[in-house]
Amino acid sequence: MPHLLSSSQSLNLVDSFNRLDLFRPFSSSQPKSTAALLCIAVLLAQSTPSLASSSSKRGLVDITTLGNAIQDDAVITAPGSDLSWYYNYGPTATPSLASQKNLQFSPMLWGEANSGNFMSTVESQIHGGANITSVLSFNEPDGCGNTGGACMQPSAAASIWKAQLEPLRSKYGIKVGMPAITSSQTGLTWLQSFMTYCDGGCNPDFLTIHYYGDFGGMASWIGQMNASYLSNVTSGMWITEFAYANQDLNDTQAYYNQTTEYLDRLDYIERYSYFGSFRSSVSNVGPNVAMFDSTGKLTAIGNSYMGGNFSGATPNMGAGAAPSTTTTTSGASGSFAFSGAAAIVASCIAGLLAW
């Protein structure tokens, strides 16, 4: 697989070539050996196997209702995987993952239904030896309809928080995430109303963000939430759902690469979980976001998310789809870097031939 230079590596090479005027025809004032060596350096960089993409922030969105969840979970959490934590939209650990000591479970109080025993359920797991240090609260509580939101009144959410979540903070020191609203004005309005009803009685420890859209929109949303609410929490921010839904494969992979690199760079992003831990044939956000193809083979995104190289099976929709093949596609920064490096190589070769 060709090695895709990072944006910083590519810009450094471009700068080096610019200083040597190698985008102009070569002249006797430039040592031919230097020019040749720089051309060779770029070519070698492009042919070197890529390094693994590793991050301690990565977690698993475990969707236990899917038919192949147990089988696929075993693959994505295998020894050597980058994943360090997971959630499953529920209050109790996934049985097939409960024995994995290196994979920490974060319970979720999803919505109003069955919320009355959430604290006791978490306490029971703690007393049973579970290492629970954080919990997630209401899943898109402003979302009503068929979008998967909890659809709660802010007043009800505030009351439930005070009864079920705040005691976990004071009694066990468990960190609690702010409600994960939709990335919309409706979500912002809901969250402001929720904080008003809390009247100082709800003390979230970290922001919880969902976003479905391109990288620019996601970065803007993170910045907006950071500016508006980061001062209201004691810790930082978690991105617990994100994907570029229903896009072509190149754009989806470019988004994944650019976004994960960005999230790894930001100090206040403590954890993130990509929404794609399922097979392409059952995805409700388009097949190309998936970490598995329809047969359970890891895609390039799935392999990379676990800490491997950016290569893997091509997402497909199952029966009648094209057979899986190995693919290597760059991300946004990688595409730019590859184009820049390719231009440099072309310039080198043309210049040397004309010299």
For residue 122, which of 175, 73, 195, 69 has the smallest C-alpha distance? 175
218-246 pLDDT, tens per residue?
999 999 999 999 999 999 999 999 999 99
Q: How many domains, in total, are found in the chain?
A: 1
Beta partners for 61? Answer: 87
Q: Which amino acid is at 22?
A: L
Between vectors from CA 223 to CA 219 and to CA 227, what angle results, nearest 5°? Answer: 175
Q: Which one has a higher pLDDT value, 230 or 338?
A: 230
For residue 54, which of 30, 33, 84 has the smallest C-alpha distance? 84
For residue 344, being part of any structural domain is answered with no
For residue 345, being part of any structural domain is answered with no
For residue 213, being part of any structural domain is answered with yes
For residue 14, being part of any structural domain is answered with no
85-102 pLDDT, tens per residue?
999 999 999 999 988 888
Q: Is 80 exceeded by the pLDDT of residue 70?
A: yes
For residue 351, being part of any structural domain is answered with no
Determine contact, residues 306/83, Cβ cutoff 8 Å. yes
For residue 146, being part of any structural domain is answered with yes
Give the CATH number for residue 270: 3.20.20.80
For residue 347, being part of any structural domain is answered with no
For residue 216, being part of any structural domain is answered with yes
User: pTM for the full model?
Assistant: 0.77
Q: Residue 147 is part of which domain span?
A: 59-332
